[in-house]
Amino acid sequence: MTHVSERVQALAPSATLAMSQKSAELKAQGVDVINLSVGEPDFNTPAHIKEAAKKAIDDNFTFYTPVAGYMSLRKAVSEKLKRENGVDYAPEQIVVANGAKQALCNVILASINPGDEVVIPMPAWVSYVEMVKLAGGTVVSVDADITQDFKITPDQLEKAITPATRMLLLCSPSNPTGSVYSREELQAIVDVLAKHPDVMVLADEIYEHINFTGSFTSMAAFPEIADRVILINGVSKAYAMTGWRIGYCAAPLWLAKAVTKLQGQYTSNASSIAQKAAEAAYTGSQECVAEMNEAFRRRRDLVVELASDIPGLKVNRPQGAFYLFPEVSAYIGKTTLEGKKIECSADLAMYLLESGHVATVDGGAFGMEGYIRLSYATSDDNIREALRRMKEALLALK
Ligand code: PMP
Ligand code: GLU
């Protein structure tokens, strides 16, 4: 028999992970696929961080840790937030989780009741909507397409807020678009929020360090709303540590306590060894972060140049993260050589995979039909060859 809960039946599978899995399966069958689907840095974790993990094993950091993480790591995060972002969260307000993904889900499950509304600017990372659904909350989408550089306006936010709104979920630099809100743009959003004291802000700042604007403003840096801002961050992207699974929330104390209670019942602490590695990431030299950022900036220039050269694609110039989100509607409605009609951007992503052997992700998975997402966290050679294949495959459509 099978008996899958309604809760899980209602969940959509993660499209980013599904596409990456499909690309890995094709590769295993001997197909030469270039994977621009999953978003993870292609760099190895820096040596000093790996050394700290080896030392942690030798020093027997192999027992359960406090549910919210080692105090030494929570202190290191608190100091990082002060040093780099100018914001104040005491170590007791930091809860370390198995990646930023769990940190986000923890906060949503610990603060959203059925019927509560969560405002999410679209396009948005695939998991936000599903996490809100898990909590029984209602997603209120606010669309920001390429014509507004994928950023919502204060006016749009004002219109989306109702008496039932509990939270705004904002991601900057953004997955899937790479857009970065400037300090002025954030201030305008904050001015709206200041009028609605019951709305919390869940700010996903995981791409903070992959940012080509030269400056980053944390959502918690605005005193008008700082006491209801929950920051999400972690080591996956900035330190090339996706597999280590360390992220955290920095939250008001009441919420940090609720999150700790929740996590204490279903995963306990994140890996003791990975926590020690993350501590080394935050307290050690930050040169690796700047080097990787520079590599991503160079690749951004390359991918924008090559994608702009494909007729029909509309491309913005992302200011951060490692994604490009081109508008592809010029190719929707066209037909493949085999006579199959491309009905939507999901069909186009599948066509690019099967005919062009390039894995991308359908924009529909991020709440915006008519786009695809490319992750350019890969070598220059892969980017060149992938974009060459995409151009050839797209031009073959009639
Ligand atoms: N937020 C965003 C916007 C992401 O793209 C990701 C994907 N890695 C995460 C959170 C989760 O990151 P992790 O769980 O690897 O820390
Ligand atoms: N966040 C990355 C992405 O968007 C990793 C996969 C995932 O966790 O969804 O591709």
pLDDT at position 339: 95
Q: Locate 92 and state its tokens.
A: 């007791």
Name the residue with the closest Cα to ligand 2, atom 4. Answer: 39
Atom of ligand 2 nearest to the CA of 175: 4
- Residue among 98, 104, 106, 125 whose CB has most ligand 1 atoms within 8 A, to mutate: 125
* Spatial separation of the C-alpha atoms in residues 68 and 92, rounded to whole Å: 9
* Spatial separation of the C-alpha atoms in residues 161 and 168, rounded to whole Å: 9
pLDDT at position 15: 86
Name the residue with the closest Cα to ligand 2, atom 1. Answer: 39
Name the residue with the closest Cα to ligand 2, atom 3. Answer: 39
Query: Which ligand number lies closest to the CA of residue 247?
Result: 1
β pairing state of 117-122 and 138-143: parallel
Enumerate the H helices of 138-177 as residue ranges: 154-160
| Contact present, 190 and 222 (Cβ < 8 Å) | yes
Q: Locate 6 and state its tokens.
A: 């309604």
Q: Locate 260 and state its tokens.
A: 């700790």
**Three-state secondary-structure class, residue 382:** helix
For 318, residues 6+ apart whose C-beta sits below 8 A from its C-beta are 173, 177, 178, 179, 300, 304, 324, 325
DSSP letter for 344, please.
S
β pairing state of 34-35 and 94-97: unpaired
Residues of the chain with pLDDT under 70: none
Helix or strand run (H / E) with residue 260: helix 253-266
pLDDT at position 13: 86
| Contact present, 352 and 310 (Cβ < 8 Å) | no
Residue 14 near ligand 2, beta carbon < 6 Å: yes
Radius of gyration over alpha carbons of the chain, in Å?
21
**Three-state secondary-structure class, residue 43:** coil
Task: Answer whether 0.85 is exceeded by the pTM.
Answer: yes
Does a cis peptide bond (omega within 30 degrees of 0) precede residue 123?
yes
Residue 17 near ligand 2, beta carbon < 6 Å: yes
Q: Which residue has the tokens 């060149």?
A: 384
Helix or strand run (H / E) with residue 265: helix 253-266
Residue 38 near ligand 2, beta carbon < 6 Å: yes
For 146-157, write each residue's pLDDT tens digit.
999 999 999 999
* Spatial separation of the C-alpha atoms in residues 383 and 364, rounded to whole Å: 23
Percent of the chain predicted with pLDDT > 70: 100
Residue 20 near ligand 2, beta carbon < 6 Å: no
How far does residue 55's CA lie from ligand 1's centre (Å)?
A: 27
pLDDT at position 17: 87
Residue 131 near ligand 2, beta carbon < 6 Å: no
For 219-236, write each residue's pLDDT tens digit.
999 999 999 999 999 999
Query: Which ligand number lies closest to the CA of residue 242?
Result: 1
Residues with CB under 6 A from ligand 1: 39, 99-101, 125, 171, 175, 204, 206, 234, 236, 242, 247
DSSP letter for 23, please.
H
Q: Locate 231 and state its tokens.
A: 């920051």
Decide: residue 27, CB within 10 A, 0-12 exposed, 13-18 middle, 19+ buried: middle
Q: Which residue has the tokens 């005919």?
A: 355
Q: Which residue has the tokens 């501590």?
A: 279
How far does residue 233's CA lie from ligand 1's centre (Å)?
A: 8
pLDDT at position 378: 96
For 161, residues 6+ apart whose C-beta sits below 8 A from its C-beta are 119, 192, 196, 199
Query: Which ligand number lies closest to the CA of residue 37?
Result: 2
pLDDT at position 299: 98
For 72-102, write each residue's pLDDT tens digit.
999 999 999 999 999 999 999 999 999 999 9
| Contact present, 150 and 177 (Cβ < 8 Å) | yes
Percent of the chain predicted with pLDDT > 90: 96
